[in-house]
Every structure is written in structure tokens, then in C-alpha cells.
Chain A
């Protein structure tokens, strides 16, 4: 088991590069003086690493936000599009995530799972008539729910590889094998980073409970939990965790449907996968 020093972990993640496709898009977009704000926001919101780091910057005590935010749009309004653009460029200058990491963790599959979970999470929020200005928080929570896994793949690849292999071979939840081989789950690592960087409590809470949704009265947690199950069940990417969990009763009650019924009622979700894949493969500029 690795000896995880919190300071080292935080410092590692600060230098962690983003996904190749978004780095490439940001470099290209920022060389165009007339780039649109929408394009920059879309690229950032398609990359968990960029999103996490920009939320870190905007929620820093130096900008005195009246409340913590999980919204990239809010970030652009508060510290300015040009600053967000330069922050993204700064992240892009750190290089790109290595797709051939030692953990043999497929980063394209991870991104596909994150992007589809994010989009499904927003769909669920809309279905529950969540106010429009809050729906993007649901998207971001879905996007970041497995951020800890990419952190493990980068910084504890050998141990994470063992956790992935055992989880798949024995069909047991990944967070269980992570505890065994790393001593920390991918949710806990996000909680650690998020509390250090002062991210919104609601976001951290949702990420923390995406495998264990026991809060009866938290719509964001419920949506992230369900979106993760749907994306996993439909094989939208693979993040090492083979288990699809049944919906707890309180969630079934909230949606009035079982998991299968809910998937059916959401219509053709494969379009979300197609769009995310097109972004990952570079055939479209945003999802």
C-alpha cells in the first residue's frame, strides 16, 4: 500500500495535465483573437481535469465569492472570460495525460464514462424540474464523480492496477479493492483535494456518495448515483467498476421508476455516447 502524503498528492494533482483532445482544442482556440466564450466553456466542461482545476481557482479565498460554486459559467462571469481562457491555456501548457499509463487504465473509456454520466445527470435534473441555473451543477457533479480514478491512474498506477484487476476478476466494487491496495477510495481522494481547495460542499458530497447514496433528501446525490449506474449499465465507457447497483428505495420513489424503467423512459441515450465519442476522437469540437 502506498504511503499517501496529502501534501504530495495535492502537489501532484496541481501539476496534472489535462486530456489530449481538450488541450489541443484550447491551444487552437486561444490562438484565435475572436474565440467565442461558449466554445471555451464547452471545452473546459468536457474535461474533468480542467474543470476541477478551474473550480479550484475560482473557489480560492482570494476571489471572495459570496458562496462556493461548481459552475464554469459563474467562473467566467466572476473572474472574466479572458482569465478563464488563460487559466485553461496554463493547464494546457502542462502537457497531456498519458493514455498509456502504467495502470493500463483506459483514459478514453474514463472520459466517455464521465461525459455520459454528466449528460445523463443533467437530463435527470431536468426531469425533476430542477431550476435551470442549477442544472449545470448536476452536469459538473456527473463529470467529476470519478475524478479520483484518474488521479490514482496517474499517481499510484501500480496499486491502482491491482485494484482494477481484482475488482474485475472477482466482480467486486472497485472502491473496495482500492481500499485494499491504496488505502483510500477514489471518492475519498476527491474529498481530500476538494476540502483542501475549498470546492462546493454539495459537489463534494455528491461525489462522495456516488457509490453509497444513503441521504434520503439530496437530489444532487441521487442524480449522480443514478447517472453513474445508467452509464455503467449501458457500457458507456468502462471505469474499472463492473458493478451496477440497484436503486435504493428512496431513489426509486423519487423517480417513481426502477433503474430499467428509468433508462427506458429516458429514450435513446446512445446519442450521448456517440456525441462524447465524437469529441474524444476529435471529429467534433465540443459535446
Chain B
């Protein structure tokens, strides 16, 4: 199994001289199994470039797993060229929105409306299928098995574990680890903490022993103080999860939009220096970088 980053930025695309090295496109990860099955995690602006590459490889049979429906994870979908080409098949997977009771089809049909885009969904030439999936329900794509788990974010968000060819990847999508909303001493603090601890154990179990853990690491610990509750993690949260889950590689992604290449490299150096004891390779996600997982 191999995977490649096509978008690593959080919140909004940030092209420009300060992001040219790590990239400014929003979230999109391509996974290829050894049998060439194509799995795509999220459809941020990065999926546009991936689509351009796939134009030469028709017929395309793509399986796009959406973590959630915030703009930076769906905005590239109308620009994913394979959806316009007859003979292609595009499967889109995602959760049910508890508020609207609508499935993942909303991510595409909301964008493909006259006011926002020149082409309507009914005009797409590819065979586009939507699949509403549930946490814990494993989906098979060729030799890969993809299992969603609910992770904390201001909208319903799935983390995905992908097991294939003897290797495994876990991608969090956007994720802020849970915290206790009650102060110590509040009568409900301990009760709430038990539920928080249970949920963390469930998440660590889902990440257990993965070859590559790809985590939302938007903030530094200092930045997080003023961003608590916004739905994103920190470098240190990610390191804690990787250690508990015994991950082999930890890849920090969803870079904060104002983060420059220079800052990312400084942060990376500090993390490596401060966590030399960690038996896990620490990597900053970079647009265009590709990883081959082997036995």
C-alpha cells in the first residue's frame, strides 16, 4: 500500500511564497493498494491536482471517503475531473448528518447548484454513487478494509483506519481530543471524565499499531490555549496518541493556514529534539510527498 498527500493545509487554501514547499492545498490523501485500488481521503482543493493526473488513466474507479463536510474537505469535489468523464465510476462515502438527517450526497449536490457552479449534479457524466456509512462498519474496497470511527469536531467527523496488504493507516480528519467540560470539584466532573477516558481508549484501540498515523495537528500547545473548542489538535496531542497507539510513523497535517514553511520546519526540529525517546518517525505532511508501506 502506498499513499500520497495532495493537500495538507487546514481551513483554507493558502497558495503563496511562504507555503510553496509544504503546499497550500486543503486536505486530500490518495491511497493505492498493491492491486491498484484507488482510495481517496477527503476532497479538499488538493483533489483537483489528483484528478488532473487521473484523466489519463480512464476508466477511473475511485472510492472517496469523506471525514466530514466542512468546506476545506469537500471544496475540490466539483473540480475532480473524473466526475465529468463517461465510463468513470466515483463512489463517495460519508456519515449521516444528525441535524439534517441527510447523507454524504449533500456534499456534492449542495455545491453543484446554479448559484455556485455552472454544472448541475444531473449533468455529471461519470457514474457517481453515494454511500452513507456508520461508525464501526467496515467497508471493503478491493483488498483494503476501511473502518470509520467518530472523532470529536464541531461537525460529525469520521477518522478512518485502512487495513490493506498487511499494512495500516489511520487518518483523523479534523480532530480535537476530548476534554472535561466541568471543573474539578464540580459534581459532574468525575462522571464526565469517565466517559472522556472511555472514548480515548476506543480511539487508541482504533489506531493501535498502525504503520502510519496521519493526524490533525493544527496548533502548537501555546496556540491551543486560545483555540480550545475549535475542533483541532496540537502537535503534542498527536504525539501522545501515537505513543499510546504504538504507531510507527506519525504524520502531522492540517497545517494552520498562516503557518509558513520556515515555521513548519522549526516546529519539526523542536519536536524531534524534544521527543527523541519516541519510537516513531515524526513527519510533517508535505504536498506531493509519497510513502510506500511495505512488510
* B196 interface hit (Cβ, 8 Å): yes
Q: 1/0 per residue A55-78: CB within 8 Å of B?
A: 001101111101000010110111
Q: Is the CB of B192 within 8 A of A73?
A: yes
Measured in the bound complex, the distance between the Cα atoms of B196 and A76 in whole Å is: 10
Q: 1/0 per residue B181-214: CB within 8 Å of A?
A: 1100000101110111001001000000000000
Q: What residue of chain B has the Cβ atom nearest to residue A78's Cβ?
A: B150
Q: Is the CB of B134 within 8 A of A62?
A: yes
Q: Is the CB of A64 within 8 A of B191?
A: no
A83 partner, pick from B156, B188, B199, beta carbons under 8 A: B156
Interface core residue of B99, B182, B231 (most chain A CB under 10 Å) = B99
Measured in the bound complex, the distance between the Cα atoms of B202 and A133 in whole Å is: 18
Q: Is the CB of B136 within 8 A of A64?
A: yes
Q: Is the CB of A74 within 8 A of B195?
A: yes
In chain B, positions 171-185 with a C-beta closer than 8 Å to chain A are: 178, 181-182
Measured in the bound complex, the distance between the Cα atoms of B194 and A61 in whole Å is: 23
Contact flag A61-B134 (CB < 8 Å), given A38-B181, A77-B178, A90-B99: yes
Residues of the B chain whose Cβ atoms lie less than 8 Å from the Cβ of A90: 99
Q: Is the CB of B99 within 8 A of A86?
A: yes
Q: Is the CB of B99 within 8 A of A135?
A: no
Q: Is the CB of A136 within 8 A of B153?
A: no
* B25 interface hit (Cβ, 8 Å): no
CB A177 to nearest CB in B, in angstroms, measures: 37
Q: 1/0 per residue B36-65: CB within 8 Å of A?
A: 000000000000000000000000000000
Measured in the bound complex, the distance between the Cα atoms of B194 and A120 in whole Å is: 24
* B16 interface hit (Cβ, 8 Å): no
Count residues of chain A with CB under 8 A from any CB of chain B: 29
* B96 interface hit (Cβ, 8 Å): yes
Residues of the A chain whose Cβ atoms lie less than 8 Å from the Cβ of B150: 63-64, 78-79
Contact flag A80-B195 (CB < 8 Å), given A38-B182, A61-B134, A87-B99: no
CB B84 to nearest CB in A, in angstroms, measures: 31
Measured in the bound complex, the distance between the Cα atoms of B98 and A58 in whole Å is: 8
CB A279 to nearest CB in B, in angstroms, measures: 18
Measured in the bound complex, the distance between the Cα atoms of B39 and A73 in whole Å is: 35
Q: Is the interface of B mostly helix, strand, loop or mixed?
A: loop
Residues of the A chain whose Cβ atoms lie less than 8 Å from the Cβ of B134: 61-64
Q: Is the CB of A77 within 8 A of B155?
A: no
* A36 interface hit (Cβ, 8 Å): yes
Q: Is the CB of B99 within 8 A of A83?
A: yes
Measured in the bound complex, the distance between the Cα atoms of B134 and A63 in whole Å is: 6
A77 partner, pick from B96, B190, B196, beta carbons under 8 A: B196
Q: Is the CB of B191 within 8 A of A62?
A: no
Contact flag A133-B154 (CB < 8 Å), given A62-B95, A87-B98, A87-B99: no
CB B46 to nearest CB in A, in angstroms, measures: 25
Residues of the A chain whose Cβ atoms lie less than 8 Å from the Cβ of B156: 79-80, 83
CB B259 to nearest CB in A, in angstroms, measures: 24
* A82 interface hit (Cβ, 8 Å): yes
* B152 interface hit (Cβ, 8 Å): yes
CB A115 to nearest CB in B, in angstroms, measures: 17
B154 partner, pick from A77, A78, A80, beta carbons under 8 A: A80
CB B149 to nearest CB in A, in angstroms, measures: 9
A133 partner, pick from B137, B181, B194, beta carbons under 8 A: B194
14 contacts across the A-B interface (CB closer than 8 A): A37-B181, A61-B134, A62-B98, A62-B134, A63-B135, A64-B134, A77-B192, A78-B150, A79-B98, A79-B150, A80-B156, A83-B98, A90-B99, A136-B191
Chain A residues close to B by CB (< 8 Å): 36-38, 57-58, 60-64, 66, 71, 73-74, 76-83, 86-87, 90, 132-133, 135-136
Q: Which 10 A-B pairs have the closest CB atoms?
A: A82-B154, A64-B135, A37-B181, A64-B136, A133-B191, A62-B96, A86-B99, A133-B194, A132-B191, A64-B134
Chain B residues close to A by CB (< 8 Å): 95-96, 98-99, 132, 134-137, 150, 152-157, 178, 181-182, 188, 190-192, 194-196, 199, 202, 231
